[in-house]
Amino acid sequence: MDSKEISVGSEVWSQADLYTKIKVLKHLIALDVYCDIALYGSADFEEEFMLDESQRVLRRYNSLKRISSTIRQLLGNSLFVIKESFNSQTKVKEWIEQVERLMPYIDKTLTTKDNFITHEREFIIREELFKKLYNILQDIKDELNFPLNQSGLIFRSSDEFDLDKIMKDIALGG
């Protein structure tokens, strides 16, 4: 094998590594943050207590929307790499359809009530529907890790890795 082949191979791996960090791992990390916001209104424990109820409700609602769209992006970004073992590609396609079917229902989780005395609009989460949608999306998010990992998009099976370096690279956008 000459040096040109090695160089090209390294370049291809560098591009795949960059793609994985930006198009897969970055979304996985964002999903964890969105899940915290959907549950508590904030990803930060102290900030949670500084928000008024209306802010908290809107942030929870918007986070649920972000969870669904981010999962949809993540599924689309990784589908072509997912290995067919254990019908993983079929399962990912089913998840894509499921997320797309859920998306219109997310809008139904938020209702408003006008206070005619204070002239303010109150935002209210329909908790039962919200929790049901959240749990379905959370299940998809949790199950998605298996085919992603099987396909080498989370941990490479044979290479050593430095998780701290990966997290730093993702935080810096590369």
Task: Please choose, from the candidates 88, 77, 99, 72, the residue with its C-alpha nearest in 3D space to the C-alpha of residue 22.
Answer: 77
Q: For residue 85, what is the DSSP state?
A: G
Q: What is the mean pLDDT of residues 89-114?
A: 92
Q: Positive or negative, the Cα torsion across 158, 159, 165, 167? A: negative
**What tokens were used for 165?**
């370096």
Question: 12 pLDDT band (50/70/90 cuts)?
Answer: very low
Q: How far apart are CA 158 and CA 155, in angstroms?
A: 9
In this structure, how many other beta carbons lie within 10 angstroms of the beta carbon of residue 84?
A: 10
| pLDDT recorded at residue 66 | 97
Q: How far apart are CA 169 and CA 116, in angstroms?
A: 51
Q: For residue 174, what is the DSSP state?
A: -
| pLDDT recorded at residue 156 | 61
Q: Are 81 and 23 in contact (CB under 8 A)?
A: no
Q: What is the mean pLDDT of residues 158-169?
A: 65
The tens digit of pLDDT for each residue in 102-157 reads: 999 999 999 998 888 888 888 999 999 999 999 999 999 999 888 888 777 676 65
Q: Are 76 and 86 in contact (CB under 8 A)?
A: no
| pLDDT recorded at residue 16 | 66
| pLDDT recorded at residue 15 | 58
The tens digit of pLDDT for each residue in 23-79 reads: 888 999 999 999 999 999 999 988 888 998 889 999 999 999 999 999 999 998 888
Q: How far apart are CA 138 and CA 134, in angstroms?
A: 6
| pLDDT recorded at residue 94 | 92
Task: Please choose, from the candidates 12, 10, 18, the residue with its C-alpha nearest in 3D space to the C-alpha of residue 173.
Answer: 18
What is the domain partition of the chain in residue ranges? 3-171
| pLDDT recorded at residue 69 | 96
| pLDDT recorded at residue 108 | 96
| pLDDT recorded at residue 116 | 83
| pLDDT recorded at residue 81 | 76
